[in-house]
Structure 1
Amino acid sequence: MLLNYLKIAIRSLWRTKAHTIINITGLSLGIVCCLLIALFVVDEFSFDNFHKKADRIFRVYGKERIGGIDQINTVTPFPMGPTLKDNLPEVEAFVRFVKTRSQIKVGDNQFSETVTIVEKEIFDVFDFQLVRGDRKHALDKPSNVILSEAAALKYFGSSDPVNKVISIEQLDTFTEFTVTGVVSVPENSSIEFFLLVPDQNLLKLYSNERLTSWFNIEPETYVLLRPGAEVNKLAAKFPSLFERLLGKEDFQNSHYGAGLQPLKSVYLGDLPQGLAKISNPKYAYVLSAIALLILVVACINFVTLSIGRSLQRAKEVGVRKVVGAARSQLIIQFIGEAVIVTFLSLMLGVVLSIIMLPLFNDLAGKNLHIYFDTSTLVLIGVLLFVIGLIAGSYPAFILSGFKPVSILKGKVQGGSKQNLRRVLVGIQLAFSVFLVTCTLIMRNQLHYLQNKDLGFNKEQLISIQVNVPRGQRLSERVARGFDMAEPLKIAISKIPNVVSVFTASHDFGTGAWTSVGFTDENGIYRTFNLNVVDADYLSAMKMQIVNGRGFIEGNESDKRHGVIVNESFCKMFGWTNPVGQRIPGKDFTNHEIIGVVKDFNYGSLYSKVQPLAIVEDGRIIYSGIENINIDNTPVPKVMVHIAAGATATTLEKIKSTWQNLTNGEEFAFTFADEAIARQYRADANLGKIVTIAAALSILIGSLGLYGLASLAMQGRVKEISVRKVLGATEQSLLILLSKDFIVITIISLLTSIPITIYAMNNWLSGFEYHVNMGWQVFVMAGALSVIIALITISYQTIKTAWTKPVDVLKYE
Structure 2
Amino acid sequence: MWKNYFKIAIRNLSKNKLHTGINLIGLSLGLGVSILIFFFVQFESGFDTFHQESEQIFRIERHQVEEGGDLTSFSTPIIAAPTFESEFSQVQYTTRMIGGSAQAYLDDETTQNQSFLMVGADFLEIFSFPLLQGTKEQVLQDKFGVVITEEVSKKYFGDDNPIGKSIRMRMGDNFEEYQVTGLLKDLPTNSSIQFEMLINDQNLDFSVDEDSQNSWFNVYGDTYLKLNAGQTKESVEAGVEAMMKKVLGEEYVEGEYVFTLQPISEMHLTESSNYGMIEATRPTLLWILAGIAFLILLIACINFTTMAIGRSTTRAKEVGVRKTMGADFGQLVFQFLTEAFLTTLAALILGLILAETLIPTFNDLFEKELSLVYGPVQILILVGLVILITAMAGAYPAFFMSSLKPIKVLKGNLSIRFGKQALRKGLVAFQFFISFLMIASTLIMVNQMEAIRDYDLGFDQNMVVLVDIPEVPSTSFVKSINEGFSQAELYRQALQKRSEVQSAGITIATYGDDAFWDGGFPTPEDEQFNFRLNFVGGEYVKTLGLEIVKGRDLNPTPGSDSSAVLINETFAKAMNWDDPLGELLPSKRIGNHEIVGVVKDFNHNSLYKDIEPIILAKSPETIFSGINMLMIHSATNPKVMVKGHGSDFESFRIMLENEWEQVFPLEAFSFSFLDETVQKQYVADERLGKMVFLAACIAILIAAMGLFAMAALSIAGRTKEIGIRKVLGASSWSISWMFNKEFLIITIAGVLVGLPLSLYLMQTWIAQFAIKSWPSWLNFTVLGIAGILFTLLIVSAQSYRATQMNPVKTLKDE
**Which of the five TM-score ranges fits, normalised by the shorter chain?**
over 0.9
8 Å Cα contact 1:509-1:672 kept in structure 2: no
Task: Indicate how the Cα distance of structure 1 residues 283 and 158 shifts in structure 2: closer, same or farther if over 3 A, else same.
Answer: farther
Residue aligned with 2:729, SS:
coil
User: Amino acid of the residue matched to residue 170 of structure 1?
Assistant: M
Tell me the equivalent position of 2:540: 537
Q: Distance in 1 between matches of 2:89 and 2:82?
A: 12
CA displacement at 1:662 relative to structure 2 = 1.8
User: Amino acid of the residue matched to residue 73 of structure 1?
Assistant: S
Unaligned stretches of 5+ residues in structure 1: none
8 Å Cα contact 2:435-2:699 kept in structure 1: yes
Residue aligned with 1:808, SS:
helix
Is residue 2:554 matched to residue 1:551? yes
The 5 Å alignment of 1:98-247 reads: 98-107=98-107, 108-183=109-184, 184-247=186-249
8 Å Cα contact 1:104-1:166 kept in structure 2: yes
For residues 442-468 of structure 1, give each alpha carbon's deviation from its aligned partner in whole angstroms, at most 9, with x where no partner exists: 112222222222111111111122223
Tell me the equivalent position of 1:4: 4
8 Å Cα contact 2:443-2:775 kept in structure 1: no
Residue aligned with 2:253, SS:
helix
Q: Distance in 1 between matches of 2:242 and 2:333?
A: 68
For residues 99-157 of structure 1, give each alpha carbon's deviation from its aligned partner in whole angstroms, at most 9, with x where no partner exists: 12321122221112322111221221111112344444322322211222332233334
For residues 169-221 of structure 1, give each alpha carbon's deviation from its aligned partner in whole angstroms, at most 9, with x where no partner exists: 11111101122233222111111212211122223332221221111111311
Output the aligned Cα RMSD. 1.9
Residue aligned with 1:560, SS:
coil
User: Amino acid of the residue matched to residue 82 of structure 1?
Assistant: P
Q: Distance in 2 between matches of 1:675 and 1:153?
A: 30
CA displacement at 1:556 relative to structure 2 = 7.0
CA displacement at 1:634 relative to structure 2 = 4.1
Q: Distance in 1 between matches of 2:159 and 2:762?
A: 50
The 5 Å alignment of 1:228-307 reads: 228-247=230-249, 249-252=250-253, 255-270=256-271, 272-307=274-309
8 Å Cα contact 1:169-1:469 kept in structure 2: no
Tell me the equivalent position of 2:53: 53
Structure 2 length as normaliser, TM-score?
Answer: 0.96
Tell me the equivalent position of 1:804: 806
8 Å Cα contact 2:126-2:226 kept in structure 1: yes
8 Å Cα contact 1:61-1:74 kept in structure 2: yes
Q: Distance in 2 between matches of 1:525 and 1:511?
A: 19
CA displacement at 1:671 relative to structure 2 = 0.6
Q: Distance in 2 between matches of 1:388 and 1:554?
A: 75
Tell me the equivalent position of 1:763: 765
Residue aligned with 2:518, SS:
strand
User: Amino acid of the residue matched to residue 168 of structure 1?
Assistant: M
The 5 Å alignment of 1:644-793 reads: 644-793=646-795
Q: Distance in 2 between matches of 1:253 and 1:231?
A: 21
Residue aligned with 1:793, SS:
helix
Tell me the equivalent position of 2:33: 33
CA displacement at 1:502 relative to structure 2 = 1.3
Tell me the equivalent position of 1:501: 504
Task: Indicate how the Cα distance of structure 1 residues 156 and 655 shifts in structure 2: closer, same or farther if over 3 A, else same.
Answer: farther
Q: Distance in 1 between matches of 2:81 and 2:337?
A: 61
Moved more, 449-458 or 770-779: 770-779
User: Amino acid of the residue matched to residue 117 of structure 2?
Assistant: T
Q: Distance in 2 between matches of 1:335 and 1:304?
A: 15
8 Å Cα contact 2:39-2:378 kept in structure 1: no
Q: Distance in 2 between matches of 1:773 and 1:52?
A: 50
For residues 505-526 of structure 1, give each alpha carbon's deviation from its aligned partner in whole angstroms, at most 9, with x where no partner exists: 2223485211101122333221
Moved more, 545-554 or 137-146: 545-554
Q: Distance in 2 between matches of 1:438 and 1:522?
A: 49
CA displacement at 1:423 relative to structure 2 = 0.6
Tell me the equivalent position of 1:585: 587
User: Amino acid of the residue matched to residue 230 of structure 1?
Assistant: T
Is residue 2:447 matched to residue 1:433? no
Moved more, 303-312 or 538-547: 538-547
Residue aligned with 1:65, SS:
strand
Tell me the equivalent position of 2:573: 571
Task: Indicate how the Cα distance of structure 1 residues 280 and 421 shifts in structure 2: closer, same or farther if over 3 A, else same.
Answer: same
Tell me the equivalent position of 1:620: 622
User: Amino acid of the residue matched to residue 549 of structure 2?
Assistant: V
For residues 387-409 of structure 1, give each alpha carbon's deviation from its aligned partner in whole angstroms, at most 9, with x where no partner exists: 11221111111111111121122
Tell me the equivalent position of 1:89: 89
Q: Distance in 2 between matches of 1:279 and 1:340?
A: 37
Aligned residue among 495, 502, 513 for 1:492 = 495
Task: Indicate how the Cα distance of structure 1 residues 41 and 426 shifts in structure 2: closer, same or farther if over 3 A, else same.
Answer: same
Q: Distance in 2 between matches of 1:635 and 1:192?
A: 22
Task: Indicate how the Cα distance of structure 1 residues 27 and 755 shifts in structure 2: closer, same or farther if over 3 A, else same.
Answer: same
8 Å Cα contact 1:513-1:531 kept in structure 2: yes
Q: Distance in 2 between matches of 1:411 and 1:240?
A: 85
Residue aligned with 1:62, SS:
strand
User: Amino acid of the residue matched to residue 571 of structure 1?
Assistant: K
Task: Indicate how the Cα distance of structure 1 residues 660 and 130 shifts in structure 2: closer, same or farther if over 3 A, else same.
Answer: farther
Residue aligned with 2:668, SS:
coil
8 Å Cα contact 1:535-1:616 kept in structure 2: no
Q: Distance in 1 between matches of 2:397 and 2:145?
A: 69
Q: Distance in 2 between matches of 1:555 and 1:121?
A: 45
Aligned residue among 435, 446, 459 for 1:456 = 459
Residue aligned with 1:89, SS:
coil
Tell me the equivalent position of 2:66: 66
Residue aligned with 1:750, SS:
helix
Q: Distance in 2 between matches of 1:799 and 1:468?
A: 75
8 Å Cα contact 2:564-2:593 kept in structure 1: yes
Q: Distance in 1 between matches of 2:346 and 2:73?
A: 52
Task: Indicate how the Cα distance of structure 1 residues 496 and 131 shifts in structure 2: closer, same or farther if over 3 A, else same.
Answer: farther
Q: Distance in 1 between matches of 2:278 and 2:359?
A: 27
For residues 524-544 of structure 1, give each alpha carbon's deviation from its aligned partner in whole angstroms, at most 9, with x where no partner exists: 221111122225111221111
Unaligned stretches of 5+ residues in structure 2: none
For residues 714-736 of structure 1, give each alpha carbon's deviation from its aligned partner in whole angstroms, at most 9, with x where no partner exists: 12212222222222222332222
Aligned residue among 525, 528, 533 for 2:531 = 528
Aligned length: 810
Q: Distance in 2 between matches of 1:348 and 1:315?
A: 33
Residue aligned with 1:215, SS:
coil
CA displacement at 1:223 relative to structure 2 = 0.7
8 Å Cα contact 2:447-2:774 kept in structure 1: no
Moved more, 318-327 or 289-298: 318-327
Q: Distance in 2 between matches of 1:71 and 1:80?
A: 18
Is residue 2:635 matched to residue 1:633? yes
Is residue 2:374 matched to residue 1:355? no
8 Å Cα contact 2:95-2:123 kept in structure 1: yes
For residues 385-433 of structure 1, give each alpha carbon's deviation from its aligned partner in whole angstroms, at most 9, with x where no partner exists: 1111221111111111111121122121225312211110000111011
8 Å Cα contact 1:308-1:417 kept in structure 2: no
Residue aligned with 1:416, SS:
coil
Residue aligned with 2:444, SS:
helix
CA displacement at 1:492 relative to structure 2 = 1.5
Q: Distance in 2 between matches of 1:435 and 1:790?
A: 21
Task: Indicate how the Cα distance of structure 1 residues 787 and 132 shifts in structure 2: closer, same or farther if over 3 A, else same.
Answer: farther
The 5 Å alignment of 1:385-424 reads: 385-413=387-415, 414=417, 416-424=419-427
Moved more, 152-161 or 299-308: 152-161
For residues 523-580 of structure 1, give each alpha carbon's deviation from its aligned partner in whole angstroms, at most 9, with x where no partner exists: 32211111222251112211112223323445977x1332221121122123333222
Residue aligned with 1:95, SS:
strand
The 5 Å alignment of 1:339-354 reads: 339-354=341-356
8 Å Cα contact 1:91-1:225 kept in structure 2: yes
For residues 714-767 of structure 1, give each alpha carbon's deviation from its aligned partner in whole angstroms, at most 9, with x where no partner exists: 122122222222222223322222222122111101110222012211111111
8 Å Cα contact 2:98-2:119 kept in structure 1: yes
CA displacement at 1:777 relative to structure 2 = 2.9
